[in-house]
């Protein structure tokens, strides 16, 4: 069966520091992968999606970037964090029937 991992689970970072969040999917190949952000008490905002290695689309202009170094690995990065980057970051993949499955998330607090 397929499993999606995210790490770290929680992260507290100072403003201006770099960021790297990792998402890995097991049990499938060439998945469509997604990064979402959820602010406290709010809905999900799509940040990036990728339909293959080196095929990444950005949905929201911001100081975040995404990379896909391997087929089943999706990385969310920032060179300098802002206070507004705080939130809950969720990675998801799409099964062939277009069902979405989410990872456990990373809770990021920028101070």
Partner 1 sequence: GIQVEQSPPDLILQEGANSTLRCNFSDSVNNLQWFHQNPWGQLINLFYIPSGTKQNGRLSATTVATERYSLLYISSSQTTDSGVYFCAIPISGTYKYIFGTGTRLKVLA
Residues that bind partner 1 (CB under 8 A): 32, 34, 38, 43-44, 46, 49, 51, 57, 59, 88, 90, 92, 94, 97-102, 104-105, 107
Measured between alpha carbons, how far is 46 from 35 in angstroms, rounded to an integer?
6
Give the shortest CB-10-to-partner 1 separation in angstroms.
10
- For residue 81, report the phi and psi dihedrals to the nearest 5 degrees: -75, 145
Secondary structure letter of residue 71 according to DSSP: T
Nearer to partner 1, 79 or 109 (CB): 109
Residue appearing with tokens 């960021």: 19
Nearer to partner 1, 66 or 90 (CB): 90
């Amino acid at each position: 069966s397929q499993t999606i991992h995210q790490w770290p689970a929680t992260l507290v970072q100072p403003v201006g520091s770099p960021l790297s969040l990792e998402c890995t999917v097991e049990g499938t190949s060439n998945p469509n992968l997604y990064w979402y952000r959820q602010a406290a008490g709010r809905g999900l905002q799509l940040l990036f999606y990728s339909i293959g290695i080196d095929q990444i689309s950005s949905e929201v202009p911001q100081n975040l970037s995404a990379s896909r170094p391997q087929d089943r690995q999706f990385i969310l990065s920032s060179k300098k964090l802002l206070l507004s980057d705080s939130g809950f970051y969720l990675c998801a993949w799409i099964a062939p029937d277009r069902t979405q499955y989410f990872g456990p998330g990373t809770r990021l607090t920028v101070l």
